[in-house]
């Protein structure tokens, strides 16, 4: 599947919380914007981007949308990047090749292969001793002041019923953005095609020693990098939609306590810059992991 490297990475990294820190941007946090042309993002030693290079920052996926395309993103060889507010470095991260046999810690941008369109950069985070500062209140407030901040989606596991080898999962997707968003709809596109973009439901026991995956049948798009407006559902600001998907495990799940997680997917590199904004809304890119602790008796 197209996103299997990211899904595998999520397993290795552990579950990342889906909570966003932009619900209270902290307007009393001082922001030093007095230096004018100080960059918001610096990649390597000399590639810098300022606020006016950005169109959107989606705090739900940590994706920066640039106003123009940047083909150089697809083969970045720079070792590191920094995110600034004024003259202060808020956090640093690394540019990490997807073909590497090891995994980064802290903030990172995956490159080579590059999973997103070249007018975006997604900043991921792997658990480490350093705090996750991607939605630091100073960043959120500064982006909000510039009119760039967008809050994207939240995804929750509303219910999960497991009996033997069968599972019935219901998730609810809510638009927290100020814009209409277009999201993948498994009922419109078909569940087999939907599971080309996500590996579905996973269980992890609370001892963190065992992962249990579901049996999936998926359908590859034609062409493999294509997409269709017919797959998408519009969510207006504040609106929610529930989806229910059934799964099968290879064997009955034994009683115990588990962490259930599900990656709700969006489109990614298929969407060109001139396709991002449709008449009915903006196509939501990226994915979000929803997590729920359950007990099976």
Strand 54-58 vs strand 106-111: parallel, antiparallel, or unpaired?
A: unpaired
Whether 173 and 153 have beta carbons less than 8 Å apart is answered as: yes
Distances from the Cα of 51 to the Cα of 60, 295, 297, angstroms:
19, 46, 52
CATH C-level class of 153-296? mainly beta
Half-sphere exposure of 187 (CA within 13 A, CB side): 7
206: its two tokens: 């609370």
In angstroms, rounded to a whole number, what is the distance separating the alpha carbons of residues 114 and 154?
24
Residue-range domain boundaries for the chain: 21-150, 153-296
Bridge-partner residues for 248, per DSSP?
A: 166, 215
Whether 108 and 93 have beta carbons less than 8 Å apart is answered as: yes
- Res 86: pLDDT: 85
179: its two tokens: 């814009």
pLDDT tens per residue across all 297 residues of the chain = 444 444 434 433 343 333 333 433 333 333 444 433 557 999 988 789 999 999 999 999 999 999 999 998 888 888 899 999 988 999 999 998 877 778 888 999 998 778 899 999 999 999 877 789 999 999 999 999 999 999 999 999 999 999 999 999 999 999 999 999 999 999 999 999 999 999 989 999 987 778 899 998 899 999 999 999 999 999 999 999 999 999 999 999 999 999 999 999 999 999 999 999 999 999 999 999 999 999 998
Q: What is the CA radius of gyration of the chain?
A: 19
Q: Where are the alpha helices (DSSP H) in 73-216?
A: 137-145, 186-189, 191-194
């Amino acid at each position: 599947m197209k996103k299997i490297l990211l899904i595998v990475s999520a397993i290795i990294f552990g579950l990342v919380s889906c909570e966003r820190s932009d619900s209270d941007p902290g307007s009393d946090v001082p922001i030093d914007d007095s230096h004018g042309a100080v960059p918001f993002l610096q990649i390597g030693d000399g590639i810098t981007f300022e606020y006016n290079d950005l169109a959107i920052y989606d705090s739900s996926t940590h994706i920066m949308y640039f106003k123009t395309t940047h083909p150089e993103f697809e083969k970045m060889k720079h070792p590191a990047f920094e995110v600034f507010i004024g003259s202060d470095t808020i956090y640093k991260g690394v540019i990490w090749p997807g073909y590497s046999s090891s995994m980064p810690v802290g903030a990172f941008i995956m490159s080579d292969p590059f999973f997103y369109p070249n007018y975006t950069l997604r900043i991921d985070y792997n658990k480490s001793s350093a705090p996750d500062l991607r939605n630091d209140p100073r960043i959120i407030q500064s982006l909000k002041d510039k009119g760039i901040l967008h809050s994207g989606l939240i995804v929750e596991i509303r219910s999960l019923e497991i009996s033997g080898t069968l599972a019935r999962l219901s998730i609810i997707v809510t638009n927290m953005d100020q814009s209409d968003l277009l999201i993948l709809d498994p009922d419109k596109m078909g569940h087999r095609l939907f599971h080309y973009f996500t590996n579905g439901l996973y269980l992890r026991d609370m001892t963190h020693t065992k992962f249990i995956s579901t049996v999936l049948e998926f359908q590859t798009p034609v062409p493999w990098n294509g997409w269709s407006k017919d797959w998408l559902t519009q969510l207006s600001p504040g609106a929610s939609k529930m989806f229910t998907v059934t799964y099968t495990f290879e064997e009955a799940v034994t009683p115990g306590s588990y962490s259930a997680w599900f990656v709700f997917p969006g489109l990614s590199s298929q969407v060109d810059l001139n396709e991002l904004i449709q008449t009915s809304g903006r196509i939501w890119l990226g994915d979000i992991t929803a997590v729920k602790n359950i007990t099976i008796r």
